Amino acid sequence: MQSDFKKILSQSIAFWTFRILSLAVMGILFSILGFILVKGIGVVSWDFITKMPEDGMTKGGIYPAIIGTLCLIAGSMLFAFPIGVMSGIYIFEYTKDSWYRRFVQLMTANLAGVPSIVFGLFGMALFVNKLGFGDSILAGSLTLGLLALPVVIRTTEEALKAIENSYREASYALGATKLQTIKRVTLPMALPNIITGLILSIGRVSGETAPILFTVAAYFLPKLPTSVFDQVMALPYHLYVISTSGTNIAESRGMAYGTAVILILIVLILNIIANIIRRFLTKKYKTN
């Protein structure tokens, strides 16, 4: 009797500790989001996202930074998405469990673990200096693209892995070639999952600061880019500079909160879209 009581007591103590700690994790997240949203939501207005910054970045909007980030997202995805999906297909569908597959997978895992500042160093050495692109959208997009590449490869592999082999075998049995099977059967089935990966990697790319520090980001540039060799402002870098350096840190606080809100909203919206696609997908498979 005594020992039963002890057991139950220790269990409830342990579980309550877990419950409280996990609630604390939630609390941390919501307090971060809440704090920034409450302080910054008043700053965000139509003018804030469509106007140029003014008065040493204390007034006006963040339009060029938004456009810059969109350029970088587009550029990096144009590079990373096709290459990532193609190599994911090659690794999963074409290579058997060979040394080549293991080698490429090891390299992908390593690339995924490389700190973002090292991508920045590499991008600066190769794209900016060696290839002579200078600080430009091109150099920044390629650097960010390399960073997103392992994410896209991994999601493509996972998406292909999730498809049952019987679908492939059925296709082969009907006389389809490997490429036809990929084109008509596996890729369409894997596409929603691949798109989810794409959305999540857009979220990652849009918030990265370290890789663009030395490859593209401009401190203050109140005009829009006209070619891929132009510098641009970018949201995460903008938040970094106006909250740490410059002469008007106190006066630019409002703008900093606003920029942080926009960054959080981007991630939030992308996450919601990814979740909707995922839910839609599971439903679709269930009804089938």
Interface with other proteins, residue 7, by CB under 8 A: yes
Site for other proteins in 20-49 (CB under 8 A): 21-22, 24-26, 28-29, 32, 35-36
Interface with other proteins, residue 208, by CB under 8 A: yes
In degrees and rounded to multiples of 5, residue 279 shows phi and psi of -65, -45
Q: Give the separation between CA 48 and CA 128, rounded to whole angstroms.
A: 32
SS (H, E, C) 39-108: HHCCCCCHHHHHCCEECCCCEECCHHHHHHHHHHHHHHHHHHHHHHHHHHHHHHHHCCCCHHHHHHHHHH
Q: Give the separation between CA 204 and CA 144, rounded to whole angstroms.
A: 9
Interface with other proteins, residue 144, by CB under 8 A: no
Contact segment (CB under 8 A) with other proteins among 47-55, 148-156, 165-173, 186-194 equals: 148-156
Contact segment (CB under 8 A) with other proteins among 49-57, 70-78, 162-170, 204-212 equals: 204-212
Question: Look-up: residue for tokens 């520090």?
Answer: 213
Site map (CB under 8 A) of other proteins, residues 50-89, x = contact: --------------------------------xxx-xx-x
Among 141, 209, 231, 252, binds other proteins (CB under 8 A): 209
Contact segment (CB under 8 A) with other proteins among 50-58, 59-67, 124-132, 163-171 equals: 124-132
